[in-house]
Amino acid sequence: MLINLLHKKWRIVVRSDKVHNEKFPDTHAVAVLDDRKIYIRKSSVTLETVAHELVHALTYELSFTELQLDDDQVEEFFCEMFAKYGRSLLQIADSVVKHYKK
């Protein structure tokens, strides 16, 4: 499934638990940022898991990892990010869950 996040295409890949665990053992999901892909174990397709991985993707697109912020700035960054993108992020997460839980 392809999603649009800040005008960038991200691929959501849901795989069987067995296949997912071969490459990413002990994880529910993982965002491979440089490839703009999110891999999710089939049994872990939940709103919380998808939203969690989308936050990784969003922070990547906003170049958060390149910033050198102190603790107060980090808190402000995430509060601002949620205020601006929270509703959209949860709507995307909800559409992903509905797509895979058919």
Query: pLDDT tens across 34-59, in order?
Result: 999 999 999 999 999 999 999 999 99
Residue 3 DSSP class = E
Cα–Cα distance between 72 and 60 in angstroms, integer? 20
**Taking the complete model, does pTM exceed 0.85, yes or no?**
yes
pLDDT at 60: 92
First to last CA, the chain: 14
Q: Sign (positive/negative) of CA torsion 34, 23, 90, 95?
A: positive
User: Could you say which residues of the chain have pLDDT below 70?
Assistant: none
pLDDT at 94: 97
